[in-house]
């Protein structure tokens, strides 16, 4: 029969076996940084451990060591990598987050585009919502463009939005376009009535984006660390907000260059409110807080 001390020793042993070790954390954090560019300091060790526990349970893997061995195997890279990325990425998003950006889009960017379309230069606007998460940002952009188009019916005006994220889980949610009613509170009431459909069940506090807006957005998985984004078009507007804060300086600089390459001359790049770019070696100028314009 085991004594109390034996049982206590066993519990410590199980705890050590069950916890993410510093070595395993370093392996995983290094891979996260190299693959998706996100820095994961040691202060995030418990966060990573907590997020991965469900994967261990789902896979019926007993230890983080065994999970690491599986993840970095050929089979794991094929079958588990997507799940791993879905678990470790942060997906904070809201409708009309950073409202001044949407005001600038409506008041400044779209009139410029409308003037160009009147002269026959262009009549289809291309926009990219990078790291779109659950789609709130992309649908907010679509809502602004739809409203602008309705208020300028005399001019031919069309648009397409590319919305990308590395997480397949959030992209699946974004495509469904179903949200809790409380999530759309930042949207003005008049626009809520126009662009969100309520459930036929009054007890179901869910809403869905109208087909008119859903049809304007193409959702696709994309890793911002890839050298080639796998699309040819240059964008008129790029929203890449609250992404750079997770990257080191070199990753930020490299990504800025790639984004700039995908932006047409006179196009606009929207960053997060706490993110600033060094434009010294790039054809970008600051035109408003965290908004940049490509000058050539």
Give the active site residue among 55, 134, 165, 241: 165
Alpha helices per DSSP H over 37-167: 45-59, 64-71, 74-79, 81-88, 99-104, 110-118, 136-151
- Contact call for residues 70 and 76 (beta carbons, < 8 A): yes
- If we measure between CA atoms, which residue out of 35, 134, 23 comes closest to residue 84? 35
Q: Can you tell me the distance from the alpha carbon of 29 to that of 6, in angstroms, rounded to the nearest whole number?
A: 35
- The verdict on whether 51 is a catalytic residue reads yes
Calculated CA dihedral for residues 249, 252, 258, 260, nearest 10 degrees: -110
Q: Choose, from 51, 192, 208, 214, the residue flagged as catalytic.
A: 51
SS3 content of the chain, % helix, strand, coil (to 5): 50, 15, 35
- CB under 8 Å to 55, separation ≥6 — which residues? 61, 67, 80, 83, 84, 87
Specify whether 254 is catalytic. no
Three-class secondary structure of residue 164 per DSSP: strand
Q: Which residues are annotated as catalytic? A: 51, 165
């Amino acid at each position: 029969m085991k004594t109390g001390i034996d049982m206590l020793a066993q519990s410590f042993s199980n705890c050590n076996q069950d916890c993410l070790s510093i070595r395993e954390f370093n392996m995983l954090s290094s891979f996260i940084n190299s693959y998706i560019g996100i820095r994961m300091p040691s202060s995030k060790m418990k966060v990573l451990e907590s997020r991965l526990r469900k994967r261990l349970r789902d896979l019926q893997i007993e230890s983080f060591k065994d999970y690491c061995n599986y993840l970095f195997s050929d089979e794991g890279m094929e079958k588990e990598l997507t799940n791993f990325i879905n678990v470790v990425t942060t997906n904070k998003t809201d409708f009309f987050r950073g409202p001044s950006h949407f005001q600038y889009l409506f008041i400044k960017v779209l009139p410029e585009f409308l003037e160009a379309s009147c002269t026959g230069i262009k009549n289809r606007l291309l926009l990219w919502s990078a790291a779109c998460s659950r789609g709130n940002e992309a649908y907010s952009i679509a809502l602004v463009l739809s409203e602008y188009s309705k208020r300028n019916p005399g001019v031919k005006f069309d648009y397409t939005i590319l919305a990308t994220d590395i997480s397949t889980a959030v992209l699946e949610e974004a495509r469904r376009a179903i949200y809790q009613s409380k999530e759309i509170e930042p949207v003005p009431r008049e626009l809520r009535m126009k662009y969100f459909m309520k459930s036929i069940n009054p007890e179901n506090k869910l809403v869905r984006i109208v087909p008119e807006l859903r049809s304007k957005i193409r959702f696709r998985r994309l890793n911002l660390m890839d050298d080639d984004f796998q699309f040819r078009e240059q964008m008129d507007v790029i929203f890449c907000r609250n992404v750079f804060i997770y990257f080191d300086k070199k990753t930020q600089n490299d990504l800025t260059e790639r984004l700039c390459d995908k932006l047409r001359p006179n196009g606009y790049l929207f960053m997060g409110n706490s993110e600033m770019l060094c434009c010294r070696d790039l054809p970008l100028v600051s035109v408003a807080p965290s908004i940049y314009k490509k000058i050539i």
